[in-house]
């Protein structure tokens, strides 16, 4: 029996989450078991508020153009459904909306929280006797989902970080004789250092920048760090540091939150890069510059990794295939081939084994001194940034095609 599908984007967006969405919608159109594909306006909130975007109103070329568009085209959200007991009202509402719109397929595109939500929806549908095929689709620049070899979105952020580190390093190298000696780049990663680790791909030879990589997995040791900066500057003339936003001190507090106050006595907002920069100015008297790439790194579709893009599209298409094959409570994950030449395939994995878990950098990926990554990490990371897939440019900037984003008529009462 023909059922409609619901797709939602969840959590922090990436350069290629829309590529997943586009591939999913285009694949779903091929299956006669699937009727309309609705996208949640602002993620799962779209389901709760019955704000369902009818993707059948979009042209094929608009859907195809999604692969070039960063951000979340249908809107994402940070809204975590808790366990079945404390969020029972929300889960019931979801099922009500699914019933009202004959939705039999639920695709949730996000990280570990979203895998958890999809898992719970798959359970409650049994409990409430409303059959639905729940598929969580991986997405996160943090690369911290378990089981999958990597996460769509990460490879593109990694390529941006490696490229930016390389380019800025060439800049500071040329200025070092009379000016800036240390450059600090802050990248994302609250708990896992995958993005900071990716900066290692900027190197061609040993000794190339970045010279120091500070990971959230390793407690910041100020003394050791400053000694290393000093030594690198002495040897090279300049030093490039890449630091994870989640770097912590020995009191287990984020450095970016630590003791800085502004003139009004307010705690200074984030920015571990300026913190490190201040340290270097104060303790080493070395001129430095710092950058914080923030959203730029996760939305840099203009320099997306082709490998990442292809994987993002593959998980979207596979999710549909799994759903129509009757799978429930699974995630299409990326499995790396065992051959020396990089290869990958998509396989289903149970959400119960993914939900809420977090994959940090393994010890074998972290250098002995705690301020770099190992060749093993580089071997893992390198394939993920391969290939380019530049967008079209129009008037000098990437071309973004507009979507209609037409919502279907509401059938239920307002939900507050």
The token pair that represents 373 in the structure block: 């990554």
Q: Are 108 and 43 in contact (CB under 8 A)?
A: no
Cβ-Cβ contacts under 8 Å for 42 (sequence gap 6 or more): 51, 74, 75, 76, 77
Radius of gyration of the chain (CA): 23
DSSP string, 168-212: HHHHHHHHTTTS--EEEEEE--SS--HHHHHGGGG-SSTTPSP-E
**142 is an active site residue:** yes
Rounded to 5°, the CA angle 405-409-411 comes to 140
Alpha-carbon separation of residue 59 from 23, 32, 54, 55 (angstroms): 14, 19, 12, 9
**Spatial separation of the C-alpha atoms in residues 133 and 327, rounded to whole Å:** 6
Q: How far is the CB of 299 from a copy of itself (least distance, A)?
A: 4
The helix (H) or strand (E) run that includes residue 6 is strand 3-9
Which sign does the torsion angle of CA 378, 380, 383, 384 carry? negative
Cβ-Cβ contacts under 8 Å for 354 (sequence gap 6 or more): 112, 115, 119, 136, 145, 146, 147, 148, 331, 333
Q: Are 253 and 196 in contact (CB under 8 A)?
A: no
Q: Are 332 and 319 in contact (CB under 8 A)?
A: yes
Alpha-carbon separation of residue 366 from 20, 145, 185, 249, 375 (angstroms): 31, 19, 19, 18, 9
> Which CB, 166 or 373, lies closer to a copy of itself?
166
> Which CB, 341 or 368, lies closer to a copy of itself?
341
The token pair that represents 22 in the structure block: 């586009």
110 half-sphere exposure, CB direction, 13 A CA radius: 29
From the candidates 116, 142, 308, 372, which is the catalytic residue? Answer: 142
Q: Are 225 and 371 in contact (CB under 8 A)?
A: yes
Q: How far is the CB of 107 from a copy of itself (least distance, A)?
A: 17
Instruction: Write the DSSP symbol of residue 324.
Output: H
Q: How far is the CB of 343 from a copy of itself (least distance, A)?
A: 16
**What are the strands of the beta sheet with 34-40, ordered from one edge?**
52-54, 34-40, 3-9, 103-110, 133-138, 330-336, 344-350
**Spatial separation of the C-alpha atoms in residues 212 and 391, rounded to whole Å:** 33
Q: Are 216 and 190 in contact (CB under 8 A)?
A: yes
What residues are labeled active site? 142
């Amino acid at each position: 029996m023909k059922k409609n599908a619901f797709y939602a984007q969840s959590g922090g967006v990436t350069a290629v989450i829309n590529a997943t969405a586009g591939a999913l919608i285009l694949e779903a159109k091929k299956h006669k078991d699937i009727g309309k594909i609705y996208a949640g306006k602002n993620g799962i909130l779209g389901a709760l508020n019955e704000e369902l975007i009818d993707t059948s109103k979009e042209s094929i070329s608009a859907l195809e153009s999604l692969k070039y568009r960063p951000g979340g085209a249908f809107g994402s959200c940070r809204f975590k459904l808790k366990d079945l007991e404390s969020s029972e009202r929300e889960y019931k509402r979801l099922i009500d909306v699914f019933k009202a719109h004959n939705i039999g397929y639920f695709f949730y595109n996000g990280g570990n929280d979203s895998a958890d939500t999809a898992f719970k929806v798959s359970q409650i549908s049994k409990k409430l006797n409303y059959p639905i095929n729940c598929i969580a689709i991986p997405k996160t620049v943090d690369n911290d989902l378990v089981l999958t070899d990597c996460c769509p979105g990460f490879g593109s952020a990694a390529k941006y970080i490696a490229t930016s580190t390389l380019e800025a390093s060439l800049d500071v190298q040329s200025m070092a004789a009379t000016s800036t000696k240390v450059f600090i780049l802050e990248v994302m990663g609250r708990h896992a250092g995958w993005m900071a680790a990716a900066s290692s791909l900027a190197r061609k030879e040993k000794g190339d920048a970045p010279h120091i990589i500070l990971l959230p997995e390793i407690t910041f040791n100020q003394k050791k760090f400053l000694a290393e900066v000093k030594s690198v500057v002495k040897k090279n003339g300049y030093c490039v540091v890449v630091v994870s936003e989640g770097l912590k001190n020995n009191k287990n507090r984020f450095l970016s939150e630590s003791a800085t106050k502004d003139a009004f006595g307010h705690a200074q907002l984030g920015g571990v890069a300026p913190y490190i920069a201040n340290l270097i100015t104060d303790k080493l008297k070395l001129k430095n510059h710092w950058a914080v790439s923030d959203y730029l790194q996760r939305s840099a579709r203009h320099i997306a990794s082709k490998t990442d893009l292809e994987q993002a599209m593959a998980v979207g298409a596979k999710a549909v295939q799994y759903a129509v094959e009757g799978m429930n409570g699974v995630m299409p994950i990326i499995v790396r081939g065992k051959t020396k030449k990089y290869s990958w395939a998509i396989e289903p994995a149970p959400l119960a084994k993914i939900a809420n878990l977090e994959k940090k950098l393994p010890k074998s990926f972290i250098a002995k001194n705690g301020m770099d990554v190992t060749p093993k990490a580089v071997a893992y990371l390198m394939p993920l940034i391969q290939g380019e897939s530049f967008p079209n440019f129009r008037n000098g900037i990437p071309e973004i095609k507009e979507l209609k984003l037409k919502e279907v008529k509401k059938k239920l009462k307002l939900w507050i």
